[in-house]
Amino acid sequence: MILVASYNMRKAIGTDRRRRPERTLDVLNELGADVIALQEADRRFGARLSAIPPHLIEEHSDYKPVPLDTRSGSLGWHGNALLVRKHVEVLAKELIHLPSLEPRGAVLADLRLDGAELRVVGMHLDLSGLWRRRQAHAILAHLEHRSGHPPTVLMGDLNEWSANGGCLRDFGHHHRFAPCGRSFHARRPIAMLDRIMVNERLDVLEAGTHGSATARRASDHLPIWARVKAV
């Protein structure tokens, strides 16, 4: 079994409007996932450095970032990053360019966890429904043309407010959604903006949101998680 999670960490700025990377790292450690997809992992302006200093991740967690070879000092690409347990082997990684009016992208990694292979895609889609659908199509097309067909997890902040329309319908043609529940707003969750999806080679055993007291303060999104198993 593999535990995956997704978290829009809002650049480590909490609902108290304070930037506290140590608090965000506490939430990541609470999750205890094997793989975590992060959104808004980097600061927005200037050098766009990682919102969590890399040395804190190295010294105070069992995680390592998937190296994406992007901007020096950044954790991810357009705010998207992947963290994995330190023992996880990164077989390949790739940036997925997405059509957009503002900079958007997705990140992909092929991983080996205790002998099992897993493909992971992390994403943060547009606020516009039209652009979300275009971005979903771009991700799905990229997966279709990529070599191999391993067990695959797609996760991130889809920014989709509808229950089953828009980009959810596009992803749903070939993927199943984990029943993670409502994750936004962290203080009073009313929307399922964050999603975890799997292809037919994975079963979802259980799923949910992580609503600890720290998580409710650390970002305006709650982390979501799913325990999956290869079929």
Sheet of 81-85: strand order equals: 63-65, 81-85, 35-39, 2-8, 224-230, 202-209
Distance in angstroms (rounded) separating the CA atoms of residues 82 and 7 = 10
- Biggest CA pair distance of the chain: 45
How many CB atoms sit inside 10 A of residue 127's CB?
9
Coil, helix or strand for 113? strand
pLDDT digits (tens, 9 = 90+) for 97-141: 999 888 899 999 999 999 999 999 999 999 999 999 999 999 999
Q: If pLDDT is split at 50, 70 and 90, which confidence band does 163 have?
A: confident
| 44, pLDDT greater than 80 | no
Contact 12, 23 (CB under 8 A): yes
Structure token pair of residue 158: 């889809």
Q: What is the CATH number of the domain that holds 28?
A: 3.60.10.10
pTM, two decimals, is 0.96
The pLDDT, as a whole number, for residue 86 is: 97
Please, which residues have CB within 8 angstroms of residue 74's CB and are 6 or more apart in sequence?
A: 42, 47, 48, 49, 50
Residues 165-170 have a mean pLDDT of 96
Q: Which domain holds residue 27?
A: 2-230
Q: If pLDDT is split at 50, 70 and 90, which confidence band does 43 have?
A: confident
> What's the total number of domains in the chain?
1
Burial 50-65 (b: 16+ CB within 10 A, else e): bbbbeeebeeebebbb
| 42, pLDDT greater than 90 | yes
pLDDT digits (tens, 9 = 90+) for 47-66: 678 999 999 999 999 999 99
The pLDDT, as a whole number, for residue 115 is: 92
Q: If pLDDT is split at 50, 70 and 90, which confidence band does 148 have?
A: confident
Supply the mean pLDDT for the chain: 95
Burial class (CB in 10 A: 0-12, 13-18, 19+), 112: middle
Contact 83, 66 (CB under 8 A): yes
Contact 14, 27 (CB under 8 A): no
